[in-house]
Structure 1
Amino acid sequence: MAKYLNSMGTSYMFEGIITKATRHVVLISPYLSINKRLKELISEGIRNGVRFYIMYGMQELKKSEKDWLLSKPQITLNYSEDVNAKCYLNEKHCLLSSMSLHKYAEAHLTEMSFFLSKTEDPASYQAVVKDVARLFRNAEKQNIQVFSIDFPPVLHPEQQVEDIPASHDILRSMHVDKDGLAGGGKVHTAMLAARHRTTVKQLMKFFRLAGLTQEAEGQVSLTEKGLAVGGEQRSGQQGDYFLWPEDLDIELLVEEVE
């Protein structure tokens, strides 16, 4: 269940979101200022192999701070004038807070927050993740890179691509609805590919190697194994497409292929 935090607890847990992350950190704040302490935390995370997704909603970011953020390939920076949320999360925890990042670490400010654990309250955590993903997909197109929060970079380097599909319109054209979800806890191949930083073509090739799909006379279909892991095959206006469980264990499939 959610845990209430006062000002001191908010600051402590916020730093933990960054220092305890192993894959990614998402920072959403309407106001953004990169002071010395926040820069130290982000730099430490980058050294530990963490990728940062940052969104702000008020154009008060100093040019020097923006240039520093954009100089880091491990940071994706987005602007959206509609953002008023203050939300900070990694792959295990989430902090919903009154604390904005324009005056972070100023001790005199009174803050109130709620802290969520993916393990202890998975439903609430996943609800936040879906809203965060939607925020980024709907962010200003000149800044946006479509992504999904909960991806591990487990595909081989030669299977990965640097650029995630560039817009929500691309995903929608591949039968992804406005929420990026197909319903029932399943996602389209395009969203799963974006989640794992690869292309649909490469992911389908991997599924064939893993025995989830098969091809005959130019037609791709699910195997019994593909059905067993929760795959579905459907037909749409642009042809057949596949749905997959959003928590499909790609890491285990990689091990099986190897």
Structure 2
Amino acid sequence: MAKFLNTSATNFFLEELIKNAKERLILISPYLRLNDRIKELLEDKDRLKIDIRIVYGKSDLHPDEIKWMQKLDFVRLSFCKNLHAKCYLNESECIISSLNLYEFSQINNNEMGILIRKYEDQDVFKDAYEEAQRIIRISDEVRISLDEVKAEPTNESVEETNDNNVGKLTSSKLAAKHKMKTNELLAHFTEKGLLNINDAGKHILTQQGKDVGAEFKTSQYGGYFLWPENIEL
């Protein structure tokens, strides 16, 4: 029988699922920014030559993730366009959850999910495993090379201030206020639905973002977002 997981339980059983993998490990998450604990567990599985497949689906990988993955011989990374599923499997357990493999989400968000064990729900586990395999098949495997490691981009080419911007902060200043990196803040707002990513890989403001008071400003040098100073993260 499936087991319900709240936020803390999802994080706990995800770590256990990775630790207990003996043959294979599949991690499917649109957003990918691993915390140190997950990296440590995956490094251990890599040393044990466990087959690890990671599928992500949103924008470019952070340079830190690329550098880290270059060190792993048994991790294969794939990109799946329009991926929204979050699913984590080894050969005997599966977690289907709202939780992204994203450090900010694991610490700050309220999540829920279910744990499926093969010996308890064999048919459900089989269906989940086959769907995970289908997602892998339709994904493009990513070859990581040194030339992909480059400086972290910024979505703010210029920051302007005027009387109309009182009570609002640019993305970089709002991120600094909450001790985050700008890309982490933008990814979090994308996950919340305040931003979207267009076909060119650029963040754009959604109607939901406009409704909370966010703005996009343009200038001859580029564009940047303005957010209400007290916006809830």
Instruction: For structure 2, list consecutive stretches of 5 or more residues without a partner in the other structure.
Output: 144-233
Partner residue, 2:33: 33
Per the alignment, residue 82 of structure 1 pairs with 82
Shift of 1:104: 5.9
2-structure distance, mates of 1:143, 1:60 = 11
In the TM superposition, residue 105 of structure 1 has moved relative to its aligned partner by 7.2
Match of 2:113 in 1: 113
Deviation at 1:22, TM superposition (A): 0.6
* Residues 159-238 of structure 1 mapped to structure 2, 5 A cutoff: none
TM superposition shift of 1:106? 3.8
Alpha-carbon separation, structure 1, partners of 2:43 and 2:105: 17
Q: Which residue of 2 aligns with 1:63?
A: 63
**Cα 1:105/1:82, change in 2 over 3 Å:** closer
Structure 1 gap ranges (5+): 145-258
| Equivalent position of 1:96 in the other structure | 96
Contact kept? 1:32, 1:60, Cα under 8 Å: no
Q: 2 CA distance for matches of 1:31 and 1:50?
A: 23
Q: Give the drift of 1:108.
A: 3.3
Structure 2 CA distance, aligned partners of 1:104 and 1:49? 29
Name the counterpart of 2:171. none
- DSSP 3-state at the match of 2:116: strand
Corresponding residue SS for 1:107: helix
Query: How far apart are 1:45 and its partner, in Å?
Result: 1.8
Q: Which letter does structure 2 place at the counterpart of 1:120?
A: E
For residues 55 and 107 of structure 1, what CA distance do their matches in structure 2 show?
21
Name which of structure 1's ranges 61-70 and 27-36 shifts more when overlaid on structure 2: 61-70
Secondary structure class of the residue paired with 2:130: helix
2:10 aligned with 1:6, yes or no? Answer: no
Residues 60, 35 of structure 1: alpha-carbon distance in 2 compared, 3 angstrom cutoff: farther
Aligned to 2:102, the other structure's residue is in SS state coil
Q: Which amino acid aligns with 1:97?
A: S
Bigger Cα displacement from structure 2, 114-123 vs 59-68: 59-68
- Percent of pairs identical after alignment? 32
Q: Larger RCO: Structure 1 or Structure 2 (Cα < 8 Å, ≥ 6 residues apart)?
A: 2
Cα distance in 1 for residues equivalent to 2:19 and 2:91: 12
Q: Is the contact between residue 99 and residue 105 of structure 2 (CA under 8 Å) also seen in structure 1?
A: no
Q: Secondary structure at the match of 2:88?
A: strand
Distance (whole Å) between structure 1 residues aligned to residue 10 and residue 88 of structure 2: 11
1:128 equivalent in structure 2: 128
Aligned 8 A contact 2:23 2:90 in 1: yes
RMSD after superposition: 1.8
Q: Which amino acid aligns with 1:11?
A: N
CA contact (8 A) 1:79 1:139 kept: yes
Q: 1:65 to 1:143 in 2, by over 3 A?
A: closer
1:256 alignment partner in structure 2: none
Equivalent residue, structure 2, for 1:54: 54
Any idea what SS the aligned residue of 1:25 has?
strand
Q: How far does the alpha carbon of each residue in 1:207-231 deviate from its partner, in whole angstroms, 9 at most, with x for none?
A: xxxxxxxxxxxxxxxxxxxxxxxxx
C-alpha distance in structure 2 between counterparts of 1:80 and 1:46, whole Å: 23
Q: Please give the secondary structure, in 2, of the residue aligned with 1:130.
A: helix
2:17 counterpart SS class: helix
Give me the TM-score of the superposition, normalised by structure 2.
0.57
Comparing 89-98 and 63-72, the one that deviates more: 63-72
Q: Secondary structure at the match of 2:127?
A: helix
Q: Which runs of 4+ in 1 moved over 6 A?
A: none
Structure 1 residue 93 displacement after superposition: 0.1
Q: Is the 8 A contact 1:29 1:87 kept in 2?
A: yes
- 1:97 is displaced (CA, Å) by 0.6
